[in-house]
Amino acid sequence: MDKICSPIQNIEEILPFLKKIIVFNGLSNLQLEKVSKLLKTVKYEAGEFIYKRGDALNNIYIIKQGEVRMMIEDKGLCLELISFKDGDCFGETSVMGSKPTPLMH
């Protein structure tokens, strides 16, 4: 089932989040406003997967509200690698064209 994406309604609300993201460092407010117009809001339910190992990650995800846990299954155990909370982001390396080093195979 495809997620419903909606455009950002309040650009002023998202600017503080964008200013914290390293890949956007050095951008002016005008440039950040242009970036914000490309953003979409997507709501995920508790326990829902955003992506799974092997999926193409082509987006920067900014956590506006809630928590996202990056989990990996290894030898039948589910291990939490990192937890992202309000204002955190992930996926920025995929947008820049560089790939992160895999943590586990």
Inter-CA distances, 47 with 12, 51, 63, 69, Å:
30, 12, 15, 9
DSSP code, position 85:
E
Please state which of the ranges 37-41, 63-67, 99-103 shows the lowest mean pLDDT: 99-103
Residue range 67-89, pLDDT digits in tens = 999 888 888 898 888 999 988 88
Task: Tell me which residue range forms the domain holding 63.
Answer: 5-46+57-96
CA distance 102 to 105: 7
Whether pLDDT at 51 is above 70: yes
Domain assignment present for 90: yes
In CATH, what number is assigned to the domain containing residue 64? 2.60.120.10
Domain assignment present for 66: yes
Domain assignment present for 52: no
What mean pLDDT is predicted for residues 90-94?
Answer: 78
CA distance 104 to 70: 13
Which secondary-structure segment (H or E) carries 73?
Answer: strand 67-74
Domain assignment present for 75: yes
Domain assignment present for 51: no
Whether pLDDT at 97 is above 60: no
Lookup: tokens for 34: 């242009």
pLDDT for position 101: 46
Share of the chain above pLDDT 70, in %: 85
